[in-house]
Structure 1
Amino acid sequence: MSFIECNSGEKMLNSMSLLEFDITVVSSVERVSISTQLDLVTICYLDSCKRHEVCPNSAVLSWFSEAKVQKSCQEKCNIVVSLNRLKNDDIPPLIDAFLALDLSDIDSVDVLDHGSTCVLNEEHILSLMNATKLKLRVIDLSSTSLKKGFLRDLCHVGLPCRVLKLRSNNIQKLDMVGRFMRLQTLNLDFCTSLTSLQKDCFSCMPNLMCLSMCETRVANLWTTTEVLAELPSLLELRFQNCLCCKDTRPCNLSSGEKGSLNVINTCSYSAGETTIGLLSLRESFMVPEVHRKTDNSSKVDERKFLGYLQDRSDGSPSPLHNLRVSPKPQNEVQYKSKNVSGTSNKDIWHHPSPICFEKHYRAYMVASLPRLAVLDNLPITKKEKETSKTIVSEFYEYLPYKHNRKKNVVNILQKRETGTSGVHYGNSSKLKQTYCYGKSQCFFSRSLSAARFGSSMWPSLHPVSSFSHIYKEENKRLRPRQFEYHPSNSSLMAFGTLDGEIVVVNHETGNLVGYNSSIGMTNSVLGLCWLKKYPSKLIAGFDNGCLKLFDVNHMPAKLGDRSCGSGAVHFEDFEQLTSVHVNSTDDQFLASGYSKGVALYDISTGKRLQVFTNMHREPINVAKFAHHSPCMFATSSFDKDVKMWDLREKPENPCYTASSSRGNVMVCFSPDDLYLLVSAIDNEVKQLSAVDGRLHMNFNITSTGSAHNYTRSYYMNGRDYIISGSCDEHAVRICCAQTGRRLRDVYIEGTESGKSIFVQSLRGDPFRPFNFSVLTSTMRPTAKQEIIKVNLLASSHDADESSRDQGQAHRSSSLSCEVIRA
């Protein structure tokens, strides 16, 4: 191919007509007259095209021509490279031309890609960007057609650009560890796959001042602020945008209207899109946060509840997923701005990321990022910074056990007489051991735990057992549906599956301890409960009403062994069973289900002693015995009531009744039986006094508006903290049981791309502080159930810590089987 003639038959003369300087091409570029340094770039490009035997691209020549016009008008000279105008053969000559930019009159180079029709070589594109060196100003890869591998390489290598736009790209986890030393503006709007920020993703951006992340899936308030705090120059940030603002700068609304106002970001849903309006600060404090009355959306079809949970276990979405009430989570943040002109409907925010729906979101951001000047297009005043610190100290707990509660003389004298420190934690069944005395080992372990907790913002998450991923016969996996920690052996856990299997594992090592396949049964295990005095035995309840007592000593320690569980004790069926629970003396247990009563069974004889009917107006989903009293038990129902009962008084009338505003999903006693933890639909979690049912603490977790967001909560660290999760969300909330303040949220994220995860159940580890396990499930078409262990004291980024934990687990594994078979 001739240098002068293109493949399309066009003559070089047609391309040259775009140039405004005298160039005559005969046999070489030596006869070109150079009028400016800008001409040098064009000459280098034409010469390189000849050497690479490619036709000069008319679009490239036009870019150079436009740059020369800018220079002649004494404007800043900027070359805009559009990747969608290039082919692979055009890039090497352009790279050669850009290598001469340091000697030219060109001020800057912008590289844009808005969906190229040609598949470009990714290595060539990176080389093209790096060839511009310090001349590179803007890189706009919004909605790029380039592969994810290119974006990953770009983030890992880095670029000397000042503005980087990655809008609407498929980025799941931001890991920009490359060198972006000159970067000042980063735009990640509409990256709807972006769920989290990696620990060191902004470590090489010392000059980043503006960051925009509207309509992403970033939700974790704690890890996000931890990452952003590493940006020393960050001044403007937004996770939602004002309608009139195109960038992160403060809103330019007219200052001649109503002057300064105190406003609140309040979320309100509409059928078409999500908006966030402005309400006055006065309205936000008109009503304290108490139990709310709800409409008919809180009613539950109890007949469909079991089927619904089964569907969710199989991974299917709710058939009524779109039937949601209008949630109104409030970011109750005091804000005073001279630029905000009013509270009319036109003053709204669009495209919020999930993090914006967290309560006190703005206050937490402002308090955690003291150098920040603008958040969500609203300037941050000095007064707001002071107010935000007050709000955060009231509603959040930075480190565990930093309660700052007011003390009175009576409490001080009582602690001095008893020698107690006032904290409550213990694993023993004896009540007196749930207290820590003076400067005991428990006291110092708490201090150590608090220190480790503060240094591990990204907790360690890993599956309970490695064999949970191994296929059984007929290519089926173990699919956990219910699980329980062992009450006396810290290394053991039992779980039942959707296929009716009972599995006992050493969750420290992943070794199988016992397995029962329940031949002839394919019903899900919905209830599990260990016996305390007989540590090798546990009771299991199935969704077909079957009740069995298993002995782990008679269960083979081999996966897939078709043993029918010889020696298992059968009890009379309880129809539509959902839960079982054994009393503190191991002589009786309760079974409850989708009926208005419960059944009492005798463990030694295997007989059903009595059925208590009409205890509630709606079906009872959970019945729980107290930890220390064998006759006291509590029931929760979808009729919104929780009731306390005493077997010694023949449960005809409850000891008391406490009500929620929505249907109750579950109830449990604190380890010392002082409190009841009640969980109702859609994150309504509260703590009651077990003596009389009075409200002790309302945890005020933000609701989603879903009538099918079934919430479950349990205690952690004795009765010091509670963990709460819901089946429409992938977050576990951790709150202080004594103050109600939020300690942290842990987001359980899927390891596979695009998989939505929800929390099906969870339990606090009774032996390890700040440890708990979560039963998760993914949506169809590839539903997967898994039990994830969470260690809040170990960081997922600390390999050495993980190695030490594994070593300790191996040392304890040799004792596990001996303890249970003792």
Structure 2
Amino acid sequence: MAIDIGTLEKRYFDGCKRQGIMPNKAIVAALFKAKIKKARHETCTLMVSMDDLRDVDFYPLLDLLKEIDVSEVDAVDMVNKSSCVLGGEYASSLLHAISKKLRVVDICDISFGKDFLLDLAQRGLSCQVLNLRSSHFRKLSMVGQFVRMQTLNLDFSTSLTSFREDCFSCMPNLRFLSLCETRITNLWTTSAALEKLPSLVELRFQKCLYCSDMDYSSASPGNEINEDMSSSYVELGLHVDLHSPSDEVFSHLQLDVDDEDMGNYDIVQDVRSSNEGSSDDSEVDFSGHRQDFEQLELAPDRTLGWNELTDMPNEISFGTLDMQHDDLFPHELVNLSPLTSTATKKYISRHASPICYEKHYRDYMIASLPNLKVLDNLPVEEVERERANDIFSQHFEYLPYNRRYKESVVSLLQQREIKSNLSCTPPSKKQFSTSRISQCFYSRSISAAIMGSSAWPILHPLSITSGVLREERRNFRPRQFEYHPSDSSLMVFGTLDGEVVIINHESGKIVRNIPSLGAMNSVLGLCWLKRYPSKLIAGSDNGSLRLYDIKHIPAEGGWLHHTPGSINFDEFDQLTSVHVNSTDELFLASGYSKNVALYDIGTGRRLHVFADMHQEHINVVKFSNHSPSMFATSSFDQDVKMWDIRQKPIQPCYTATSSRGNVMVCFSPDDHYLLVSAVDNEVKQLLAVDGRLHMDFGIASTGSSQNYTRSYYMSGRDYVISGSCDEHVVRICCANTGRRLRDVSLEGKGVGASMFVQSLRGDPFRNFSMSILANYVRPSSNSEIVKVNLLESKDHEKSHNYKQQHHSVTGMGG
């Protein structure tokens, strides 16, 4: 027979007497209310407010909760709304004392600390509804047992940026997930994590409310705890009608919409709906930083704008549903009425996470999550799902090389081997050509299969150890880097302190370290010679230019100013870029001027200075990869120009104009195209022969005039990688179609350690690999080179981490 509530009450008093403490008034009141509800034959819910608990209340309450599962109490709600004195280890034990009847857990972990959160994430909870406002979550990894959970609300967890791969694998029954006012940004990793939720039907990254349907008089006050609270939690996924207004699913937020709140939003006109710096070339994660709870005021009725946390402008506004303009981000909300495609509905969008600012965000999420029925409080009708699939296919690549289905790597390897063994006779030329095409097909298919197995690319900060003196720890500050053109293991980087360092980036060992000569200066220009792979040109911002032959430089120090094989060139003032032609005979230098200098590598002489080639300073100069006389220049005057040395470049071969100042230009590996990057994500591909536009990649701008964008080719000329100095993401786009393949997000360690893209290069020897020169926002942090391999497996990462733990290594970031 179940223990009645009166007996529970008596046992609680006896427990307090044994501990020598007075019964807690809040617990006594909760038991009294539960007893009254039971007498009225109502749902008997025991609501425990942890705000009212002290450590001394722990043992009597723990004994009480251990008997709940065999009592007349129908459900228990554990609520923490503000800072409290109860220790985190006590709070954790109380939550785990109930195994069957724990219904709602509503807590803010600011009171309990990181250890409490780690325990929750690793052990799990038996509750049906979890509302967690956390200041410690950065990369969500809830790997414990959450089998009974149906609703998870992480709204206002303002440190949460991403998910680990297996984050939701232990939540098979989760139906409702809310992530408003978090810092989640990456469409690819987010959708891949959410795909692990087979029961998910409602998702929210922002709160979208129809103005015409809103009843302002019904808004309930903020975050008060009252005896009717338990009934509001029933709407959180326990008994939800999906045809009812979607916001009821998360009604515990008790969102106020009053005249004062209305003043926080701009008004947008009705819209109809339809179908559619300087340049250069040059785990749950926990943070030691505690957000001030009173300052952030994480209570759900607080209108906490994203612009209070970052420099991103707050574009959340009154609006209307519009399908005509498919670039209406952050919301990109559409009219879902089955009656007409021209009807309009006004809405209010509140507490949007930055992922909502991604172009085609809504279409991407709907296409990626086929079981989703409600997104951001708006129902997903069949007509919108069809449209979302079309938008997805137009603007995104599901897998590389437009592969539409995930395949097994093992199966592809078996197919390749079987095909290669079919013929035992030497192939003819025609057969050889077919064989080459087949190998290319399998290579691309295998790459697509590997990338399809995980949306989480492996990021390794480049670690450095001296070749001889392993105990020597160095704090390099890299400013520019280049892969070696023929040795896949070598890379050179120049530092802000004027050093030139050749490193084996596979082992992390320094091969050569050339110290700075004279005054401190930044190395901004680096270029290897192709026919003489031991030589490279280095240029610094103080104008110095020098050729180094690493064969004549001692491995550990002892380098002299007049080393055999080294050449000093005439200075080029305020240098930013150098580049060598395809025959290793000439190189060009540009900088903060309108001029370009031409040098003869063999003699060490400056042959010519081409004056006034642009109206403003020339950021980058690039020779073509195959023609020794053709080169391109890009300038902040918004022009890119093609030149031919044989014509004594007085007039360009042609001029192509961007809408903003140009930061970068480079040739595709086969010289068919020019890749042009202008300020704030204006990235275009031009035909190298005449400068006509071939592809506009359509990357969304941020509105910042200081957001310098740099782009390069990756995997031959198949894909383009692009990053900007005001953003923490590298975008990967197909060079043939312009469709976005994936975004790679950079994440530093600790809150406030945001990383941004200073420069980047595609690995010339490895498909879908690159390195990124990343800067931290914190002035005290050094920049570092981060290696990215989109085809690297998790097993390889574990092996890499094991090796890192058993070797003496020093991170470049210090």
Common topology (TM > 0.5): yes
- Measured in 2, the distance between the counterparts of 1:561 and 1:273 equals 65
- Measured in 1, the distance between the counterparts of 2:466 and 2:479 equals 13
Query: Is the 1:333–1:360 Cα contact (8 Å) retained in structure 2?
Result: no
Aligned residue runs from structure 1 range 382-421, under 5 A: 382-402=382-402
Match of 1:112 among 79, 96, 111: 79
Aligned residues, how many? 697
Q: Deviations along 1:292-349, whole A, 9 cap, x unmatched?
A: xxxxxxxxxxxx7479x9xxxxxxxxxxx96989897466575423699999896221
- Measured in 2, the distance between the counterparts of 1:253 and 1:704 equals 34
- Measured in 2, the distance between the counterparts of 1:35 and 1:688 equals 77
Distance 1:763 1:387, change over 3 A: same
SS of residue in 2 equivalent to 1:446: helix
Q: Deviations along 1:61-93, whole A, 9 cap, x unmatched?
A: 111111112222222111111112111111110
Counterpart in the other structure of 2:111: 145
Match of 1:74 among 31, 38, 41: 41
Q: Deviations along 1:480-500, whole A, 9 cap, x unmatched?
A: 100000111111100000100
Q: Deviations along 1:679-699, whole A, 9 cap, x unmatched?
A: 001111010000000000010
* Offset at residue 113 of structure 1 (A): 1.2
SS of residue in 1 equivalent to 2:118: helix
Q: Is 2:303 the counterpart of 1:337?
A: no
- Measured in 2, the distance between the counterparts of 1:36 and 1:176 equals 34
Query: Is the 2:713–2:721 Cα contact (8 Å) retained in structure 1?
Result: yes
Counterpart in the other structure of 2:480: 482
Distance 1:340 1:386, change over 3 A: closer
Counterpart in the other structure of 2:563: 566
Distance 1:107 1:477, change over 3 A: same
Counterpart in the other structure of 1:411: none
- Measured in 2, the distance between the counterparts of 1:165 and 1:489 equals 53
Distance 1:335 1:442, change over 3 A: same
Distance 1:323 1:393, change over 3 A: closer
- Measured in 2, the distance between the counterparts of 1:732 and 1:791 equals 13
Match of 1:89 among 45, 56, 67: 56
- Measured in 2, the distance between the counterparts of 1:564 and 1:744 equals 46
Counterpart in the other structure of 1:760: 758
* Offset at residue 143 of structure 1 (A): 5.9
Query: Is the 1:516–1:556 Cα contact (8 Å) retained in structure 2?
Result: no
* Offset at residue 365 of structure 1 (A): 0.7
Match of 1:200 among 166, 169, 173: 166
- Measured in 1, the distance between the counterparts of 2:190 and 2:313 equals 28
- Which shows bigger deviation, 510-519 or 715-724? 510-519
Distance 1:502 1:251, change over 3 A: farther
Aligned residue runs from structure 1 range 680-759, under 5 A: 680-759=678-757
Distance 1:403 1:104, change over 3 A: closer
Letter in structure 1 aligned against 2:29: S
Match of 2:175 among 201, 209, 213: 209
SS of residue in 2 equivalent to 1:133: coil
* Offset at residue 227 of structure 1 (A): 0.9
- Measured in 1, the distance between the counterparts of 2:559 and 2:356 equals 51
Counterpart in the other structure of 2:102: 136
- Measured in 2, the distance between the counterparts of 1:462 and 1:470 equals 23
- Measured in 2, the distance between the counterparts of 1:792 and 1:222 equals 13
Q: Is 2:223 the counterpart of 1:226?
A: no
Distance 1:332 1:691, change over 3 A: farther
- Measured in 2, the distance between the counterparts of 1:251 and 1:712 equals 47
* Offset at residue 566 of structure 1 (A): 2.8
Distance 1:804 1:162, change over 3 A: closer
- Measured in 1, the distance between the counterparts of 2:200 and 2:82 equals 30
Q: Is 2:29 the counterpart of 1:62?
A: yes
SS of residue in 1 equivalent to 2:47: strand
Letter in structure 1 aligned against 2:616: E
Query: Is the 1:41–1:98 Cα contact (8 Å) retained in structure 2?
Result: no
Letter in structure 1 aligned against 2:482: E
Aligned residue runs from structure 1 range 295-334, under 5 A: 305=278, 329=329
Distance 1:75 1:233, change over 3 A: same
- Measured in 2, the distance between the counterparts of 1:175 and 1:468 equals 36
* Offset at residue 272 of structure 1 (A): 8.9
- Which shows bigger deviation, 525-534 or 436-445? 436-445
Distance 1:340 1:458, change over 3 A: farther
Distance 1:398 1:639, change over 3 A: same
- Measured in 2, the distance between the counterparts of 1:36 and 1:525 equals 77
Q: Deviations along 1:248-304, whole A, 9 cap, x unmatched?
A: 9879789xxxxxxxxxxxxxxx9996879796465886xxxxxxxxxxxxxxxxxx7
Counterpart in the other structure of 1:583: 581
* Offset at residue 456 of structure 1 (A): 2.9
Distance 1:354 1:710, change over 3 A: same
- Measured in 2, the distance between the counterparts of 1:748 and 1:584 equals 34
- Which shows bigger deviation, 535-544 or 453-462? 453-462
* Offset at residue 52 of structure 1 (A): 2.2
Letter in structure 1 aligned against 2:106: D
Counterpart in the other structure of 1:454: 452
Aligned residue runs from structure 1 range 222-261, under 5 A: 222-243=188-209
- Which shows bigger deviation, 540-549 or 160-169? 160-169
Q: Is 2:597 the counterpart of 1:599?
A: yes
* Offset at residue 149 of structure 1 (A): 1.4
Q: Deviations along 1:654-696, whole A, 9 cap, x unmatched?
A: 1011111111001000000000000001111010000000000
Query: Is the 2:752–2:777 Cα contact (8 Å) retained in structure 1?
Result: no
Aligned residue runs from structure 1 range 356-505, under 5 A: 356-402=356-402, 438-467=436-465, 477-505=475-503
Counterpart in the other structure of 2:550: 552
Counterpart in the other structure of 1:508: 506
Select the structure of larger CA radius of gyration.
1
Counterpart in the other structure of 1:771: 769
Query: Is the 2:335–2:344 Cα contact (8 Å) retained in structure 1?
Result: no
- Measured in 2, the distance between the counterparts of 1:680 and 1:514 equals 35
* Offset at residue 472 of structure 1 (A): 12
* Offset at residue 440 of structure 1 (A): 5.0
Distance 1:342 1:93, change over 3 A: farther
Match of 2:122 among 156, 164, 168: 156
Letter in structure 2 aligned against 1:566: T
- Measured in 2, the distance between the counterparts of 1:128 and 1:325 equals 40
SS of residue in 2 equivalent to 1:141: strand
**Structure 2 gaps, min length 5:** 220-235, 247-260, 283-309, 316-326, 405-432, 808-814
Query: Is the 2:2–2:70 Cα contact (8 Å) retained in structure 1?
Result: no
Match of 1:51 among 18, 37, 40: 18
SS of residue in 2 equivalent to 1:347: strand
Q: Deviations along 1:417-460, whole A, 9 cap, x unmatched?
A: xxxxxxxxxxxxxxxxxx99743544432222222121131111
Q: Deviations along 1:336-389, whole A, 9 cap, x unmatched?
A: 236999998962211111211111111111111111100000000011111111
- Measured in 2, the distance between the counterparts of 1:775 and 1:469 equals 23
**Structure 1 gaps, min length 5:** 1-33, 255-269, 286-303, 310-320, 405-434, 811-822
Distance 1:473 1:38, change over 3 A: closer
Distance 1:635 1:716, change over 3 A: same
* Offset at residue 752 of structure 1 (A): 3.6
- Measured in 2, the distance between the counterparts of 1:55 and 1:766 equals 73
Letter in structure 1 aligned against 2:187: L
Q: Deviations along 1:513-550, whole A, 9 cap, x unmatched?
A: 11101232310000000001111010001011111111
SS of residue in 1 equivalent to 2:111: coil
Aligned residue runs from structure 1 range 622-661, under 5 A: 622-661=620-659
Letter in structure 2 aligned against 1:175: S
Distance 1:668 1:804, change over 3 A: farther
Match of 1:677 among 675, 681, 685: 675
- Measured in 2, the distance between the counterparts of 1:787 and 1:371 equals 40
* Offset at residue 49 of structure 1 (A): 1.5
Over the residues paired in the alignment, what is the CA RMSD in angstroms?
3.4
SS of residue in 2 equivalent to 1:520: coil
Distance 1:437 1:528, change over 3 A: farther
